[in-house]
Each structure stands twice: as structure tokens, then as C-alpha cells.
Structure 1
């Protein structure tokens, strides 16, 4: 089916279109197939098929059996699954390739809720990883035609921004699991789509604001992914565009988040003073116009900035403030979706790293260990960050065997992500452990670090 064609609404239309039949052509194909299984007397007309696809009527069982025979579907499945569910088996590939359409969704839900002991499920494999990945990419296919029409100058509705937001959310979580490098291509492609919609589609009111927000957040995320991939010029270019897009939205919380991202990267680049100033500006912009959770996020990063400048009293003050703000956060607060990752301030990796900067490795190890235990299962990249800094804290306390064990765990996870930031931190850890190379366990880890 051409990419520019609208997605068919009914499964029969999906099957017919997938095999390249027009209504008249499909009627002719069924007419030629029917005698092979003894149903030559059926009258096949394009109007009848059109009514089936519209849901106005359903084909009689003999007609369904002819369709099944044409597409190589087991006739027993016609009775077992019923109309139109069995048509999923007529589509190329397994059921999971069905189009994103209402009928396909309802059919899949019906089948999921049915008796799990049905014989045709026996031996069915789990969804292969490559198919699962494809599904995450294809989920916007059901509105692709609307997006393409919008890029061509047509009106678009809120279903477009809703679908793009869901795609963006999936990308956030892929970054958590895989690191920034694999996400930059998808982020750039999606940002191109949003930009073309802003430029060419007709939209008004809240939808216009939503598209500007999506542009700003995609640009922010792309900057973050480029930063995590250790492409600092690419990150700066992305954030420059994000600042422009954010100005169109008038969303103080998101503007503060964007500035906070810039501040954190400044700290990583050993420019703690600029990071401190940017975070102060972010906190002023957010003011009382955001939720306690977002305020806690900004003030937690201020802990890291203060520590990087050697301001122990300021770091302690910001951490106390952030903890109070986090405790004031309510489950019913309308927190922005991008704040999903925020955890208790004392559990954040940047807090633990702050105490390393302040020369308190025992405190750093305690906080980082607690934070590591609280991490969600899929946060592989953050797990490496925590482990690397825990190993550093242990080495600074002369707990060399523990440091070697922790570093080994980090190295076991490292191949699962593609993150320049993680690679740089592992290089830092190698330099941290090098003075202790006479320890056999440390020497073994240093060899692995060099190989990595």
C-alpha cells in the first residue's frame, strides 16, 4: 500500500488493499476462486464488498470461506475467530502487522480477552525484538495520511499532536534504556515532521501552541541526546533552536527545564559558574508557576552546581529546599510529562556526584547506592552513571575490592547503551583506579576498562 494512501478502516479493506485489489478486482478474484472449493454459485459484486467494508452487512460463511481460501487462511480459523477477526491472518506476516485502525484494535482486544487455552495459540512465539521495534516506529501510521495532508497545507486536528506526543514519550524512554546516540536520528526526523506541520499545515488555537511545544521539546531532547552522545556542538545547535521554539509557547516550566539542561552541560564542561547562573535564571522563570516536583528538579541540579564551585553550605541549603519541595509534591499535581524521571532529590545521581566534588565520598556512596536501588528497571544508562560514581566513591575510601566489583558491574552493562557520556565517565574511573593498579582485582578491571 503506498505511503500516501489513507489507512483503510475495516480489516477487509486492509486485506484487499494489501494485496493490491480494487473493489471490482477483488470481486473478480473471489469469483474465480469460488469453484475450487465448490461455491461457484455465489454472486460477487463490488457493491456487496463495499457494504462489507462499510460494516453495513457481513458476508455469509461460504463467502468467507472463499476469501480464506484465496488468502491461504485455515478454514477452521474462520469459525474459531469469527468475522472480521480471522482477516488478521490474511494480512502479510503475523497478526501484529495489522494496520493501526479501529477494527484491527478491537479485533486484537477481543482475541486477547478470549479464552487463553485456545489451541491455535499453542507454540506461538513471543513478539520478536525486531517486530516490537517496528511496532514502536509504526504506531503513528494510523494518522500518517492526516500528517501528510497537513504538510500539504490542509487542516489538522488534535489527534496529530496527541500522536506525536506519544511518539516523543516513547523516545524519552528509549534514551533511558539505550543512551542518546541511537535516539538522535529519530528525534531529528520527528522534529522535521513537526516543523513542516508548523510551516505548512493549517492549525489554530491550542493546537498551534501544542505544535510549538512539541518543536521546542523535540529540539531540547535532541540537544540532550547529542550531549549524551558527546557531540557538544550538535547539542548547542539543538538548544539554540529549542530556545527560539520555546519562546513561542510561553510555558515557564518548560523554559526552565531547557535552561536547566544547558546548565547541567555547563557543569559537565567544568563551567560551574555559568551553570549556577543558568539554574538561578531557570528557578526565577519557573517561580511559583510550576509544580513542586519541577522546582525540586531545578534545585537538585543547583546542589551539583554549588558543589562544583566548592560551596558546601549552598549545596546543603539547595538539597534541603529540594527535599521539602519534593515532599510537597502531590499525586494530583499536573506535572509536565517530561518530569516523569524525577525521583527523590537525595537519590539523584547528580546529588551523589555533588558530595564527591565536596570531598565526602562516604556520603556520596550512601546516597548513590540508595538512588541506584530506586532506579526503574529500564534506566540502563543511569544505572551505569550511578555505578561509576559509586566505584569512584569506594576507591576514594580505599575500598578497592568493592570499587573493582562495582566497576565490573558497570562494565557488564556498558555494551547495552551507546552513550558518549558513559564512555567518558568510565575513562574518568580508569584514571581514578590507576594509582591502585597493584591490587590484582583493580588491575583486572583496569584491563577491561582499557579494552572497553
Structure 2
């Protein structure tokens, strides 16, 4: 569970404009014509005006109402949601901020499972921080009472749920070995099966709860796979559907895990403050209703988010807290199956990366090296991530021969992994090494990076 490259967020208006087939100029003209038809008077329709809106300028209310009318959006929603959040209603697919109901959950899962044409995220913007905050608040308010009651009883139709859980576990480990890109199709296919069971099969009680958990975890995993493939906007789309399914399952540990996934994506998209807030929400949701191992996982990711904000003291405090929680974990704890990958907090790649962010490459290299030694043999994707960051630390310490050799090892392993994160990290590593091209060992490995990537 590690990083992806930073990308710039595409404005919601740009996505709406692309979805309706407009250029900057034709969109400006269409809005001006609609404004005139609504009685708002003449409005300039230069393409530069739309470009300014997409760069962050807020349109005047008459222009917003003209846009809403153009896209069939209720003007009351324009006033209620504000700019640019109301534009979500003009995009294809389910409304991210729709009420949390079983039918909306199924619609979101249907859309996610059955529409691979939008899976590459080309027409989907990253959600603004205001929308993420609203979604978090809405979700928490919806499920807090249900979570407090807890889940009791065993499975009904255990042969069905057991079979699906087995498939899900295999997919987790396939991701560890091959990377997320190779797993998205399988995840989408299995999610479609679970959604059909939810919609058409006869189920009550614990079976219904378990099917919603499976839908939530498949959607979460699909989001993770998209994230690992380098597609953050596609990951957010999946996690939106997962939030809805998890609201029906009311599993506090899994809910916290889901928010933690979304938080990491924010950190790697250059929004560490938002990521830190979401992780704090995850920790609050888990509370005392989960195991020390899960608490340690969340707090370890908080170390990463906090370090990315530059708060070294808080990052250090959280690492100590995570280590203490990990030490409290006991054999026989009822840890969730998805937590199988969690290791000692100081050995996690996010911790090593945190010390790189804090300008301490020596500590980063030491922690990452220990973590690399503790990895399971089949965790090939994570092995590349650890090695790339170790090489970065070595380059920053000016141990160039070691950095070049570590980079070569990372490239050898990356050749059998399908992961956009690995590709991005190797590209970042090339940038890190470029100022040292005068070194023969660095020059050699840079030539190989240029040829292979």
C-alpha cells in the first residue's frame, strides 16, 4: 500500500464541457444564448471567459443559472450546492452527493461494474475537497447509529458468501504479485456478480449484510487497483460506490479502511491536509470497536499524511502511537481478513516515504531496508516501491553507486509487474538521478531507464 504520482485536478466544468461535446468557444456561445433566452440580458461569449472559470474563477449567478438550464439541472440545486459542486449533477453517472439509500447504492454499483468505457478516468474529474468533505459528513451521519448497534449472528447461505470471499482473497494476493492494472477486469466482473445477487436474489438478515460488505470490499479493491494503475479519478469513482455499500454493511473496521484508502489518494494527489482529515475520520470511526492491528494501520498512514504537511513532531508522535498499538496486537485477535498485509509500522513503505518528505534520507533508507527484508516473497509490486524509495534516499545521501544498483534491481522486478505507481516512481527516480548523470554508474542506469520507459 504505497504511492502514486501527483496529478493536477481537472475542473468539474471541463469534464461537463467535454461530456457535452463543447469546445471553450462553443460552450461560451451556448451559455450566452441560454442566458439571453432566460432574460438575463446580453452576455459576452469569449472562450477566455470559460477558460477563466475552469482555472478557478467563479461565474456570476446568471451565468451559472444559464449553465444549469443548459444541462437540465434544477436551479435550486445551484443555490443549495454552490459552485462548482452543483456541476456534479451535469455529469454522467450517479450523483455523488445523492442520499444514502439501498437503491442509489445499487445504481452506483451498477454504474461502476458495467461501464468500462469510463474506467480510464478520461472524462471524470477529481472530486473537489468540498465534495469529499460533504460526502464524508453525509456518510458518517447516515451510518453512525447503525455502526453503534453492531453486527450479530452468523451467515445465511454460507456456501454462497464463502465462495465469493475465497475469490476475493485470491484477488488481493494477485494484486500483490502482479499490480493493480492486471486486476481491474476481474474485480469489475466479480462486483457485477455481487450486485446482481443484491438486486435479484432472495436474501435477508446477515446474508444481506454480508453481500453489502462484499460489494463494498470489491468496490474498494477496484478503487485500489485503479489507484495503483495511476488512475486516481477512476479510484475515487469506485470508492464512492464502496462508501454506499459500506453504509449498508455497517462494518466499522472496513469503513475506516475505505476512508484510509481515499485519504492516501488525496495525499498522493497533493492534498495532504485533506488526507490527514479523512484519516482522522477513519480513526474516529474505528474507535475502540476494532483491533489494535487495524488502529496501527490507520495511524501509520496518518504518519505519511502528516509528514507530507511538514509537521515532523506530529508525524513522530503518530509513529510512536502506531508502534504501541501494533505491540498490543495479539495472536487470536479477530483481525479482518483484508488486514493480512499489515506489518510493523516502522517497516511500512509509507513510514519510510514520510522521512523522505521530512528531509531525513538516512532514517528513510534504514526503515525502508528493514521493511523490504520483512516483505512476503510474492509481494513483487511493493518490492519495486520500496526499492525505488531506497534508491531515492541513497541518491540524496550522494551514495550514487548504491542508488544506481538499487535502481537496476527495481527495474528488473518492475518488468513483471503491471502498476502505474511503479512506472511513475521509476520516472520520478530518473528525475532524482538526472543531476548526477556525470557519474558513470548513474549514467548507465539512466540510459536504461530512458530506453525502457
Q: Distance in 2 between matches of 1:204 and 1:281?
A: 30
The reply to whether residue 315 of structure 1 matches residue 315 of structure 2 is yes
Counterpart in the other structure of 1:406: 406
Runs of 4+ deviating beyond 4 Å: none
CA displacement at 1:233 relative to structure 2 = 2.0
Counterpart in the other structure of 2:423: 423
Q: Distance in 2 between matches of 1:247 and 1:184?
A: 23
C-alpha offsets along residues 366-391 of structure 1, whole Å, 9 cap, x if unaligned? 00000000000000000000000000
Counterpart in the other structure of 1:182: 182
The reply to whether residue 373 of structure 1 matches residue 373 of structure 2 is yes
CA displacement at 1:232 relative to structure 2 = 1.8
C-alpha offsets along residues 200-247 of structure 1, whole Å, 9 cap, x if unaligned? 001121111110000000000000000101112211110110000000
Counterpart in the other structure of 2:211: 211
C-alpha offsets along residues 21-46 of structure 1, whole Å, 9 cap, x if unaligned? xxxxxxxxxxxxxxxxxxxxxxxxxx
Normalised by the length of structure 1, the TM-score is 0.65
Q: Distance in 1 between matches of 2:347 and 2:231?
A: 27
C-alpha offsets along residues 331-362 of structure 1, whole Å, 9 cap, x if unaligned? 11000000000000000000000000000000
Q: Distance in 2 between matches of 1:161 and 1:260?
A: 25
Q: Distance in 2 between matches of 1:352 and 1:233?
A: 26
Q: Distance in 1 between matches of 2:349 and 2:170?
A: 23
C-alpha offsets along residues 147-191 of structure 1, whole Å, 9 cap, x if unaligned? xxxxxxxxx821011000010000000000000001000000000
CA displacement at 1:397 relative to structure 2 = 0.3
C-alpha offsets along residues 117-149 of structure 1, whole Å, 9 cap, x if unaligned? xxxxxxxxxxxxxxxxxxxxxxxxxxxxxxxxx
Mark the runs of 5 or more structure 1 residues left unpaired by the alignment. 1-155
C-alpha offsets along residues 55-79 of structure 1, whole Å, 9 cap, x if unaligned? xxxxxxxxxxxxxxxxxxxxxxxxx
C-alpha offsets along residues 410-433 of structure 1, whole Å, 9 cap, x if unaligned? 001111100001100111000000
Counterpart in the other structure of 1:14: none
SS of match in other structure, 2:415:
helix
C-alpha offsets along residues 87-113 of structure 1, whole Å, 9 cap, x if unaligned? xxxxxxxxxxxxxxxxxxxxxxxxxxx
Mark the runs of 5 or more structure 2 residues left unpaired by the alignment. 1-155
Counterpart in the other structure of 1:266: 266
- Alpha-carbon RMSD across the aligned residues, in angstroms, is 0.7
SS of match in other structure, 1:170:
helix
Q: Distance in 2 between matches of 1:358 and 1:399?
A: 19
Counterpart in the other structure of 1:388: 388
Counterpart in the other structure of 2:249: 249
